[in-house]
Amino acid sequence: RYVRQLQRLQLLFSPTAADARGARQFVEEEALDFTRRHPDVVLYVSPRSIPAPLLLAEYLNGTVREELIASKTSEEIVQLATKLAGQSGLDIVRIRKPFHTDNPSVQGQWHPLTNKPSALIVQGPRLQPQ
């Protein structure tokens, strides 16, 4: 079972601005294909009078990411949208370890006394074997 972390994509653009041409082409041609390929993402298209076209992505943990799509071709916008659809809402910060486990040790964690004979069995030079 896999749950996509992207909740909704809001495409804000203005129908008259010159740098929103790619956004308008994307809406005309590729928006339907994109929604068919990603059926669990909701795409809101709202033409408003905004100075610069934006692509808002909201994730299930509440983070909102804004990407500028001014003067980008529709293919670039499609690539951007697929990249955002594959991401999760976690912050893009340096991750210290590329792995994460909840149960790191199965056979018991090693400590310096594993695999060593106990002090009762070892025969020293003075102890007589009983």
Query: Considering the rule CB under 8 A, would residue 8 count as an interface residue with other proteins?
Result: no
For other proteins, how many residues bind (rule: CB under 8 A)? 20
Residue 25 interacts with other proteins (CB under 8 A): yes or no: no
CA dist., res. 130 & res. 127, Å (int)? 9
The footprint of other proteins on residues 78-97 (CB under 8 A) is: 83, 85-88, 92-95
Under rule CB under 8 A, residue 35 binds other proteins: no
**Run of H or E residues at 34:** helix 31-37
Least CB distance from residue 16 to other proteins, whole Å?
33
* Using rule CB under 8 A, residue 64 touches other proteins: no
d(CA 74, CA 66): 17
Residue placing its CB nearer to other proteins in the complex, 18 or 93: 93
Is residue 102 near other proteins by the rule CB under 8 A?
yes
Q: Which is nearer to other proteins, 2 or 123 (CB)?
A: 2
Residue keyed to tokens 């990603």: 38
Q: Strand order of the sheet with strand 64-68?
A: 42-47, 6-13, 54-59, 64-68
Start-to-end C-alpha separation, the chain: 63
